[in-house]
Structure 1
Amino acid sequence: MLQTFNRLNLLTLVLTFCLIVLGAYVRLSHAGLGCPDWPGCYGHIGVPDAAHEVAAAEAAYPERPVQAPKAWKEMVHRYLAGIVGLLIGALAALAWRDRSHRLPRGLATATIGVVLVQIVFGALTVTLKVKPIIVTTHLLLGLTTLSLVFWMWLGTRAPSDQPQAAPLRAALLKPLSIAALLLLCGQIFLGGWTSTNYAALACPDFPACHGSFAPKGELGVAFKLWHGLGIDYEGGILDVAARATIHIVHRYGALVLSLVLIGIAAYLLSLKRALYRQLALALLGALALQVLIGVGLIHLQLPLWLADAHNAGAALLLLAVLALNHAVWQGGLARCPASSSADLESRAERS
């Protein structure tokens, strides 16, 4: 059963990653309201295409005429979300059927809970007309689902036989790994807030923003989470100064996160162990990719494919930081028994 669970877990992980990338594509291509209702599309399980269906749909939603390309993007996203939800349910069922208690029942059940909340926010995204705080929360919940599925996959793999570092040095990685994860979560929120408020092009130059490094507007206005109900947020409602402020704060967050991750990677490399080196290279590779994409977005003026790749890069960076945390808290880095240290010392003496 463990092998079956692992294979299904890996498939779920890949499809969840694809779902996040597809969701970003739907949002960035302004197709989030391609279907103005939920869970169907203009009352259909698919997109209405017959003339009488289109006429009825546009009569029901006169403010949202049928645009089949946008509607299909949204519906394909919903279909894939349904498949991922079923797969997560299957993982939970396998975990609860496992009598050896080797499979993560609690984690699988928690993932179902996150998915249920995610479904609610998916509906609210449409009914509240892509309200920024709702769409950003929807993104964060999607990445939370990805994180839980990835953590399950890491936890059910065969344990690593990599040599362990001295307990004192390994212990220093615990606060560092947590700090990296918290900073990354904050930066992902800033990235989502930048995207959902249509602030990605608010600063057309780099590294300055309109020739200055200071915020252009008030932080309270730029980061006001709630603007009331009944507002259509497609295209954004903030002025240029507020959007520029959001953008430059996102850049400062990226700078702080980059410095922290580079420092952690340098520390991992100093430990001179294969596992640590792999983690360091994963962190540096994902970070470099994300920074290059971010800078490219400014210079190329936000091409859709690159903007979507920026979301994929954020997910990859999250997986790298999660792998570090799993190694520190659940893997060989967290457990350095005296017997292992003695074995290493005896091997050194024999050599």
Structure 2
Amino acid sequence: MQNLSLTQARIALTVTLLALVVIVLGAYVRLSDAGLGCPDWPGCYGNLIAPTTEPQIASANSHYPTRPVETHKAWKEMAHRYLAGILGLSILLLAILSLRHRAMAAQPRLLPWLLVLIVALQGALGMWTVTLLVKPAVVTSHLLGGFITAALLWILTLRLYSPVLSRYVVAHPDRLLLFCRIGLVILLLQITLGGWTSTNYAAIGCTEFPTCHSGSWWPNMDFTQAFTLWHGIGINYEYGILSAEARTAIHLVHRIGALITVIYLLLLSVLLYRAGRAEITQRMAWILASLLLVQVGLGITNVLGHLPLPIAVAHNGVAALLLLTLLTISWQLKRAYRLD
């Protein structure tokens, strides 16, 4: 039975890594303005693959005259869809395995099927991303759904590994667990805000650091327009529709959120390092602090470098790693021995 659990855990780990790849690829597609590389769904210009030959391109352009084929963008979008489809099938496999081995004492029963439902919702959000012309509320929800999918897959992996791993010795684990869960909420809010910043093309809403524009810390901003979630149907949101003042407002709120997140999670890292008596707990504290500093550096580079694509994509990837790190720490604390 233990070998079976370990095999499932390894499968879950592989699927989690696949989910991280899908998140990073999705960020690359979005940030390279390829989200509408295929104007229809689930195919691409009516085909299962992106058009590449001259006859295919001519046919596609005749059927979609308002959206001429850009082959490189179409292939980016379809690569993301193919990989997301493989991820969905992999999650379904995990759910079927959990059903077949439901008699095992440590077998998660609800979580794999919850993941199946979330992936189905992600498919719908992917469709609406295209049909609603990259509406920010939909794209942000799609992005957040990807992070939640990866997080739940990681939780499933940890639960499947837990019967074969030892516990850890930590002082006051209950108190630290509460602090960690608050940190998770703060980080998820910041990830959501980051998605809103990206999908509204506000990543360079401020062009300087640490000031915003022309040495100003608090320039003219439009907060009402910035956080209006719904602007109606039929609007093409590619490249954004908000005013410069609204984009600046979104960007500055994201900066403030980043400051709060970094301060809180750095404090949590210090508390974890001081409370842990196991080397792995102290190592996780170092990993959390290191990822935070990397993320801050990436964010500043995005502003000063005017959103270089590799840095912007890495910013999304590190956010996902931060989320999984916090979940790992939370799991460790739930299993920790109390040291009084």
The 5-angstrom pairing of residues 1-40 of structure 1 reads 1-40=4-43
Q: In the alignment, which of 210, 232, 238 is matched to residue 234 of structure 1?
A: 238
| Identity %, equivalent residues | 45
Measured after TM superposition, the shift of residue 4 of structure 1 is 2.3
In 1, Cα distance between the equivalents of 2:283 and 2:71?
46
CA contact (8 A) 2:5 2:161 kept: no
In 2, Cα distance between the equivalents of 1:215 and 1:282?
36
Is it true that 1:295 corresponds to 2:300 in the alignment? yes
Is it true that 1:190 corresponds to 2:190 in the alignment? no
In 2, Cα distance between the equivalents of 1:41 and 1:208?
43
Please state whether the residue corresponding to 1:32 is helix, strand or coil. coil
The 5-angstrom pairing of residues 269-280 of structure 1 reads 269-273=273-277, 274-280=279-285
CA contact (8 A) 2:298 2:311 kept: yes
Q: Any idea what the Cα deviations from partners look like across 1:297-333, whole Å, max 9, x if unmatched?
A: 112221111110010011111111111222223x22x
Is it true that 1:321 corresponds to 2:321 in the alignment? no
Q: In the alignment, which of 74, 98, 116 is matched to residue 120 of structure 2?
A: 116
Is it true that 1:307 corresponds to 2:309 in the alignment? no
Q: Which runs of 5+ in 2 are unaligned?
A: none
In 1, Cα distance between the equivalents of 2:276 and 2:196?
39
Measured after TM superposition, the shift of residue 102 of structure 1 is 2.2
What is the identity, as a one-letter code, of the residue corresponding to 1:317?
L
Q: In the alignment, which of 137, 141, 157 is matched to residue 137 of structure 1?
A: 141
Measured after TM superposition, the shift of residue 215 of structure 1 is 5.6
1:34/1:163 Cα in 2 relative to 1: closer, same or farther (>3 Å)?
closer
Instruction: State how many pairs are aligned.
Output: 333
Q: Which runs of 5+ in 1 are unaligned?
A: 346-351
Q: Any idea what the Cα deviations from partners look like across 1:212-241, whole Å, max 9, x if unmatched?
A: 222632322111100000000000000111
CA contact (8 A) 1:283 1:321 kept: yes
Is it true that 1:203 corresponds to 2:203 in the alignment? no
- Paired residue for 1:349? none
Measured after TM superposition, the shift of residue 163 of structure 1 is 4.3
In 2, Cα distance between the equivalents of 1:163 and 1:194?
39
CA contact (8 A) 1:215 1:249 kept: no
Is it true that 1:50 corresponds to 2:84 in the alignment? no
What is the identity, as a one-letter code, of the residue corresponding to 1:300?
G
Measured after TM superposition, the shift of residue 293 of structure 1 is 0.6
Measured after TM superposition, the shift of residue 284 of structure 1 is 0.4
Q: In the alignment, which of 240, 245, 250 is matched to residue 249 of structure 2?
A: 245
CA contact (8 A) 1:286 1:317 kept: yes
- Paired residue for 1:348? none
Q: Any idea what the Cα deviations from partners look like across 1:260-317, whole Å, max 9, x if unmatched?
A: 0011111111114123312211210111111111111112221111110010011111
* Higher deviation after alignment, 282-291 or 16-25: 282-291
In 2, Cα distance between the equivalents of 1:203 and 1:173?
36
- Paired residue for 2:226? 222
Computing the radius of gyration from Cα coordinates, the structure with the larger value is 1
What is the identity, as a one-letter code, of the residue corresponding to 1:107?
L
Please state whether the residue corresponding to 1:157 is helix, strand or coil. helix
What is the identity, as a one-letter code, of the residue corresponding to 1:126?
V
Please state whether the residue corresponding to 1:172 is helix, strand or coil. helix
